[in-house]
Amino acid sequence: SPPDSPNSSDFNLESINSIHSPFHLTSGDNPGISLISEVLDGTNFDNWRIAMTIALDAKNKIAFVDGSISRPSESHGSFRIWSRCNSMVKSCLLNSVSKQ
């Protein structure tokens, strides 16, 4: 069963294949996607935050934003997988912010 609060130090390589793992990425996950249709433009933070929180929770990636998953040391075996997922989340966030 998935852990209640995932932590990168508890990570094992088999968990990436579990759809319940926050480290799991699907073929539909790519750095160019926008998770929500509303773009943060400086006037709509509350609505944007709610929509983004729901979207990240639905993708099982909210733990990368709320601090539930801590950054492992670069020498830890999970660092590359953590970094890949963290970069995906950062990309999704950046893609939903106005360029202006």
Across 12-21, 25-34, 47-56, 68-77, the highest mean pLDDT is recorded for: 47-56
Residues 54, 59: Cα–Cα separation, whole Å: 9
Alpha helix (H) residue ranges in 10-100 = 45-58, 63-66, 79-94
What percent of the chain shows pLDDT beyond 90? 63
Say what the pTM is: 0.80
Count Cα neighbours of 87 within 13 Å in the Cβ-side half-sphere.
9
User: Which of 21-25, 60-64, 88-92 is the least confident region?
Assistant: 21-25
Residues 20, 18: Cα–Cα separation, whole Å: 5
